[in-house]
Structure formats: structure tokens, C-alpha cells
Amino acid sequence: MNDELLIKFLLKETTVEEAKQVQDWIAESAENATYYQQLERIWNESADLAPANTVDEEVAWQQFKQRVEDKSASPVVKKIKFNALWLRVAAVFVFCFGAWLAYQQFGNAYTDLQSNEQVLNKALPDGSQLVLNKNTKISYVTNFKTNRKVELISGEVFFDVAHDRSHPFVIDINKVEVEVVGTSFNIKRLQNGVEVIVESGIVKVGKGSQQLTLIKGERVTLLDNEEKLEKKLVEDELYNYYRTQLFVTNNTPLVKVISVLNEAYGGKVLLSENAKSLGISTTLPFKYTLEDNLKTICSTLNLKMQRNGDEILLSKK
């Protein structure tokens, strides 16, 4: 995929076939999607840096050609005929590139933070404390004390936000925006949505034209294909196992418990149909092995455990 077609797509001047080609390419891999998002971010944020008056595309292109010719006195430069579209693309691209360099130098450059295979504790420049679960990646504005903006790219983070009423703390996740002043909450990027759980203070969650306010002990799950925002009470403390090193349940559906254990240990534990309706109240230490904790579950609920290769099946006796 070449950048010219991607820029043409950003300008909304592709044909139907070209648009489908770009969309298919973006959907092919996470790397392609990330590359396009970076290009789109450069494009949009460079546009924000533009002055209010319209860019003279012809002048911009002529200035660009003049710079090239000034640096090449001896070689013969072959003239290329550009149609209106590519003159526009070239001029805007030259402008955006220059604006982006200025943006990186003086504007809101971003810093990436990634936890990989270990839980990571980190303090942001404003004093906010973060705990990143394994395989989590965020990006935050480098000039963070005056512009407290974070993007959750993947994974799960617990935020304990430093209080600063004049500079709200904003997190972007796909089409969801979370805004706080000083509070603590857990936010997780699901495979098909976002989950926010509040431990203290007040959190505002917005999607499109809708906004929801959450307080301590409330949560909201926002699926990508749903627009409705609906808050619920937090039923257990499973979400914070990576901080507390404990799996705390309170008559929690066994299906959910097993899902969290599989995530935490990288396991492949399955439930038989006759065990899926069960609930459990217990506390399981994360320092124990997966099999040790499964034995506790089996003892509590009178289940049996059968191993088949790397899969473990729990079922009623």
C-alpha cells in the first residue's frame, strides 16, 4: 500500500474500488491499522496547526519545486505534469510535513508506555499513578502537566489521578472518552469494547453525543456496536487481581471467574454445561498456580477436573 493512495483516501477523493482497497488493507493486520492511525493523526493534528486562511496549493507546490531546483544546479530536472488532484495532494502533504515537524518540536508530541510481560507501576509527569496490566500500551502527551491527555491503545490500566481542577485528565479509547479531575478507576480495552470501573471520585464517560457519570462502586461496559450507555454496580473485585494479587469473588458466576483465570494465567480452562450456571464466593491467591486454584474451586463446588493436553475441563461429579 502506498502513501499516495492513503492520502487520497484521507482527502475522501478515492473511487469506490480504491476506498475498498484501503479499507481491506487496514483490516488485514494490526500493523496496517496502526500505520494508518498514525498517518491520520499526523494529518488531523497538522491541520489543527494550520492558520485560519486557506493554503494556496499552487504557491506551496511552486515553493517546494524551487527549493529542489536551488539544491540541484547541475542535474537536469525532468518536469512532471501533475493533474489538479495530485497538485493538491503534494501541496497539502508538503504543508502537513512541515507543520508536523513544528508540532513535534513545539506542540503535543506523544510518549508511548508499554508493560509487555510484566505488570508495570508508573508515575506520570503530573504525579498521577498508573498500574499497567501485562501486555498494555498507552500513549500520553509529553507536555503532560498542561495537557493531561492519554490514549489507551491496548490492555488494561488502573489510574490514580492527581487532583488538578484546571487541567482535566482525559483518556481516549477508540470512540470512547473518559474525563476525570482527581479519582481512581480501572479501564480495560476489551476485544469488542471498553470497560470502566470506578473505585473513588467521579468519572465522566462519553460516547458520541451521550455522557454518563459514574461514582465509586459503579461500572459501565461499552461495546463497539452499541450506542447506549448503562451503568451497573460492581459485583466483585476480580478486575483488580493484577494489583492486589488476589482473585476476590462474591457469588460471582463461575463462567466469569474462569475467564479471568484464563486471562491471568494464559490457561485453557473449560466448563461443562452443567457447571456453567454455578456461582462462587471465595478468595484465590494469584501466587498459587492455576491448578492449585482450580482444586480449591472444585473442592468448594464439588466439581471434578479432567486434563486433555493443555486443556482442563471442570464438570459436576
Least confident range from 36-50, 138-152, 155-169, 174-188: namely 36-50
Same domain flag for 226 and 244: no
| Position 39 pLDDT exceeds 80 | no
Give the angle subtended at the CA of 73 by the CAs of 67 and 77, to the nearest 5°: 75
Instruction: Among 195, 214, 233, identify where a domain stops.
Output: 233
Given pLDDT bands bounded at 50, 70 and 90, which one contains residue 57? low
116 and 177 together in one domain:
yes
Average pLDDT on 51-56 reads 48
Of 206, 204, 231, give the one whose Cα is nearest residue 220. Answer: 231
99 and 117 share one domain: no
Do 189 and 259 fall within a single domain?
A: no
Is the domain of 90 the same as that of 144? no
Output the pLDDT for position 216.
93
Residue 95 is predicted with a pLDDT of 54
pTM of this prediction? 0.64
Helix (H, G, I), strand (E, B) or coil at 15: coil
Of 188, 206, 233, which residue is a domain's last?
233
Q: Domain count of the chain?
A: 3
| Average pLDDT value for residue range 42-49 | 57
Tens of pLDDT along 66-122? Answer: 554 554 444 444 444 445 555 555 555 555 555 555 444 444 578 899 998 899 999
Confidence of residue 60 (pLDDT cuts 50, 70, 90): low
Same domain? For 116 and 97 the reply is no
Q: How confident is the model at residue 210 (pLDDT cuts 50, 70, 90)?
A: confident
**Spatial separation of the C-alpha atoms in residues 169 and 171, rounded to whole Å:** 7
Question: Do 262 and 199 share a domain, yes or no?
Answer: no
User: Exposed (0-12), middle (13-18) or buried (19+): which is 203, by Cβ within 10 Å?
Assistant: buried
Residues 213, 192 share a domain: yes
Cα–Cα distances (Å) from 81 to 84, 85, 86, 87, 309, in that order, read 10, 12, 10, 9, 65
DSSP 219-253: EEEEETT-----EEE---SGGGHHHHSEEE-SSEE
Q: Are 139 and 172 in contact (CB under 8 A)?
A: no
What is the rounded CA–CA span in Å between residue 155 and residue 191?
A: 9
Q: Is 51 found in the same domain as 67? A: yes
CATH number for the domain harbouring residue 214: 2.60.120.1440
Whether residues 198 and 257 fall in one domain = no
Residue where a domain stops, chosen among 55, 86, 106: 106
Cα dihedral 253/254/259/263 (nearest 10): 110
**Residue pLDDT, tens place only, 72-87:** 444 444 444 445 555 5
CATH for 312: 3.55.50.30
What span, in angstroms and rounded, lies between the C-alpha atoms of 153 and 139?
7
Query: In this structure, are 58 and 161 located in the same domain?
Result: no
How far from each other are the two terminal CA atoms of the chain, in whole angstroms?
56
Whether residue 89 contacts residue 96, with contact meaning beta carbons closer than 8 Å, is answered with: no
The pLDDT mean for the chain works out to 81
pLDDT at residue 85, rounded to an integer = 54
Same domain membership, residue 65 and residue 180 = no
d(CA 110, CA 97): 17
pLDDT for residue 222: 85
Give the side-chain half-sphere CA count within 13 A for 175: 13
Instruction: Identify the domain containing residue 256 by its residue range.
Output: 238-316
Residue 267 banded pLDDT, cuts 50, 70, 90: very high
pLDDT of residue 279: 95
Task: Give the rounded distance of the alpha carbon of 184 from its chain centre.
Answer: 18
